[in-house]
Amino acid sequence: MSLLNRLRSALGAAGTESTAAALEEALAAHEAGRLDEAERGYKAILARDDRNADARHLMGLIAHQRGDQAAALAHIRRAIAIDSATALFHFNLGNVLTALGEHEEAAAAFSRALEIGPERFDFCFNLGQAEAARGRDAAAAAAFRRALALEPASEAARHELARALVAQSDREQGKAQLYDEAIGLLAEHWQLGADPTASRIALAHALECRERFSEALDHYRGVIEARPEAAPAHWGMGNCHNRLGRMDEAVRCYRAALALDPEDANIASAIASGLIYDENCPPQALLDEHRRWSERYAARYAPRAPVRVRAPDRERRLRVGYLSPDFRRHPVTALFLPLIERHDPQAVEIFCYHNFPGADAVTERVCRASHHWRQVASLADAELARQIEADGIDILADLSGHTSYQRLLALARRPAPLQVSWLGYFASTGVEAIDYFVTDRHSSPPGQDRYFTEKLVRLPDTRFCFQPTLAMPEANEPPSGASGRVTFGCCNNLAKVGPRVLALWSKILAAVPGSLLYLQAGALNDSANRERFLNHAVRCGIPADRLELRPFVPIEQAALAYHAIDIALDPFPFCGGMTSFEALWMGIPVVTFEQELVAGRQTASMLANLGLGDLVALDESAYVDIACALARDSARLAELRRTLRSRFLASPLADYAKFTRALESAYRLMWYTLVAGGPKEPINL
């Protein structure tokens, strides 16, 4: 609709007939692009009648078109003060506020225009854009949905709605129907919008999140063929490969994305964390990659002045903050929740900073167990740092490192006088502002310190404990007793199962006649990827008829997979964590090949705590020998099946009370050093 026609309905209230004629003449000049002429006409009207709201509003519109948003704001607000019942005034106020980056006020103005009515496409569409700009994806989707209902043929509304649905589902995990709706909107229309690249990337991402990886990869490749400079497509393709267990290909894609967008610290973090899986990455090279990340992204935020220590009393109650995106149904919180529920409230005051927008029943439990809860996903790094500092945190424990949703650039600003990396990361962060890395004497024996920028805190037994879920069934008898053939198994992330691992497993299968290899992983949900992995395993020496590939299932069903396994084979160099705990709890011995770094020593630490050090191999030959010896020892397999759970319960691995006291002691020793003003040193409990 033309500007003249939009305003024609208001002309009847413009005053005298001569004023209406003058306004229409000025409007015609305005619409023709003769802004100076239109401005003279509006000024002439205002000279005769300073309270003519139409002329005042149109003066604001000219200022907006010229880029003088301050003048536009003043004119349109004055017009609304004269006449607050004209929807178009509020609509253009919203447009000016949008140009100023004031998206919250803009959304309010567009909403007011819609309240006054009539409901119009552009009112709804611009409201959607304002809500999207302020991160209110659900509200944005609702507005775009209204716009599309008014103009069903609008490709702009279709594409904006789809992108808002994808963003909303990213924030609100578990709403798969939103991804499905976005896919339906874009599947046949992605190329028709104003920005087909962005729409196709959104479609690919939605397909990825619905585990339709092959289709997602096809779309990412299509974007890259048409627009090789599109960094988000390389990033998305890397994420697809990551979820499919192809970490080497994922890292290659991440490096391509980083070359195009070198300021994106999250891409660089994905590269650093991806190298933990790399069979050919030496420990020093891994540390160097993390150091480069810190020098490139974190160093610029180092505070110039020393951090103020709040009330430096040695024995006072400490304020401890835990920062994580995983305070939800996630392996990290499965290990963390029993600890926070056992913290001594006389010794520590707990603040939890949740860096994920969604929530579930587990989130509620963590919230209840903490003394103070902070939802921080919407905060910028500087804002998060200010929040932590305002809370007076003494010790801040980061539980995510360089994994998804990391907030290391907030820690780089050192909002707390003591900062610690623990639980959710398996290497040095490389960040100079992080003082300590919490580990244990088995995971980090003497000599490991050189691979960390942080000082190591070695707990006496284990760096984490395990509390099984109610969904885990009782252990059964070894399945080989009934079948007559031994089943080896692994339920780890497929990214941990590289060529060296498969080659070694093939030797074990060859040495144990009739044995099977059972693998279960989320990456096997994709049929094309399952076929690709099967062919890869065959090339590595594993006969196809001795390999059983199972897709991921929820934990309630996943535990039953262990009933099909006699012996668990641990991958390397990144071994199992939660999966090793689960296997051991189910009475299944885990054979592990101990590596040099923490990521490859987790299972070895568990076995040491269970008195099963004989299942820890120090070289490839021993790994094969241990697995084969177990396969031949049916009596021991049966004995472990019966006794491992009780042995587990009697070990430090299940003693959360003891573990919590040890961690609190470590916090206190860190605090003593800080208060004394001495240099930070490794702590061995």
Which CATH code, of 1.10.1060.10, 3.30.1340.30, 3.40.50.11380, 3.30.1330.10, is assigned to 318-459? 3.40.50.11380
CATH number of 480-654: 3.40.50.2000
Average pLDDT, the chain: 94
Range among 165-169, 171-175, 419-423 with highest mean pLDDT value: 419-423
Q: Do domains 3-232 and 318-459 have the same CATH topology?
A: no
590-593: strand order across its sheet: 547-551, 516-521, 487-490, 567-569, 590-593, 616-617
Q: Residue 609: its pLDDT value, please?
A: 99
- The Cα–Cα gap between 308 and 408 comes to 20
The more confident residue out of 430 and 7 is: 430
* DSSP-assigned beta bridge partners for residue 518: 489, 548
232-283 confidence digits (pLDDT tens): 999 999 999 999 999 999 999 999 999 999 999 999 999 999 999 999 999 9
Residues 432 and 435: their CA atoms lie apart, in Å, by 7
In 184-335, where do the E strands start and end? 318-324
pLDDT in tens, 518-556: 999 989 988 999 999 999 999 999 999 999 999 987 766
pLDDT of residue 331: 94
- pLDDT at residue 555, as a whole number: 66
Query: What CA–CA distance (Å, rounded) separates 552 from 558?
Result: 7
Q: Rounded to an integer, what distance in angstroms lies between the CA atom of residue 77 and that of residue 81? A: 6
- Which range is least confidently modeled, 71-80, 334-343, 557-566, 662-671? 557-566
Closest CA to 336 of 352, 348, 347, 349: 352
For position 2, what pLDDT does the model report? 52
Q: What are phi and psi of 275, to 5 degrees?
A: -70, -15
In a 13 Å sphere around the CA of 603, the CA atoms on its Cβ side amount to 33
Task: Give the up-direction half-sphere exposure of residue 114: CA atoms within 13 A in the CB hemisphere.
Answer: 20
Crossing angle between the packed helical segments 69-82 and 87-99, to the nearest 10 degrees: 160
Give 298's DSSP letter.
I
Amino acid at 440: D
Structure-block tokens of residue 425: 């990361």
Q: Give the pLDDT confidence score for residue 12 in this predicted structure.
A: 44
> For 489-504, what is each residue's pLDDT tens digit?
999 999 999 999 999 9
Query: What pLDDT is recorded for position 11?
Result: 47
Taking residues 84-92, report their average pLDDT.
95
Which residues pair with residue 436 across a beta bridge? 420, 455
Whole-model pTM: value is 0.89
Q: For residue range 42-64, what is the model confidence (pLDDT) as tens digits?
A: 999 999 999 999 999 999 999 99
CA dist., res. 36 & res. 31, Å (int)? 12
Other CB atoms within a 10 A radius of the CB of residue 314 amount to 10
pLDDT of amino acid 250: 98
User: Rounded distance, CA 606 to CA 575, Å?
Assistant: 12
Domain 3-232 belongs to what topology? Answer: 1.25.40
Q: In degrees rounded to 5, what are phi and psi of residue 248? A: -65, -40
Where are the chain's structural domains?
Answer: 3-232, 243-250+257-297, 318-459, 480-654
Three-class SS state of 292: helix
- Look at 589 and 468; give whichever has higher pLDDT: 589
Q: Which helix (H) or strand (E) holds 92?
A: helix 87-99
Type of residue numbered 351: F
Least confident piece of the model among 18-22, 70-74, 381-385: 18-22
How large is the average pLDDT for residues 417-421?
Answer: 98
Please give the pLDDT value at position 5.
58
Tokens, residue 283? 């420990």
Please, which pLDDT band fits residue 15 given cuts at 50, 70 and 90?
Answer: low
**Residue 678 CA, distance from chain mean position:** 37
pLDDT value, residue 167: 86
Q: What angle do CA 247, 237, 500 make, to 5 degrees?
A: 15
Which of the four pLDDT bands, split at 50, 70 and 90, describes residue 170?
Answer: confident
Taking CA atoms, 545 is separated from 131, 354, 517, 549, 571, in Å, by 54, 46, 10, 11, 21
Residue 315 CB partners (closer than 8 Å, separation 6+): none
Pairing status of strand 616-617 against strand 567-569: unpaired
Instruction: Please write the tens of the pLDDT for every residue from 573-617.
Output: 999 999 999 999 999 999 999 999 999 999 999 999 999 999 999
Which amino acid is present at 646? Answer: S
As a whole number, mean pLDDT of residues 157-168 equals: 90
The CA–CA distances, whole Å, from 550 to 488, 489, 494, 557, 577 equal 14, 11, 11, 12, 20
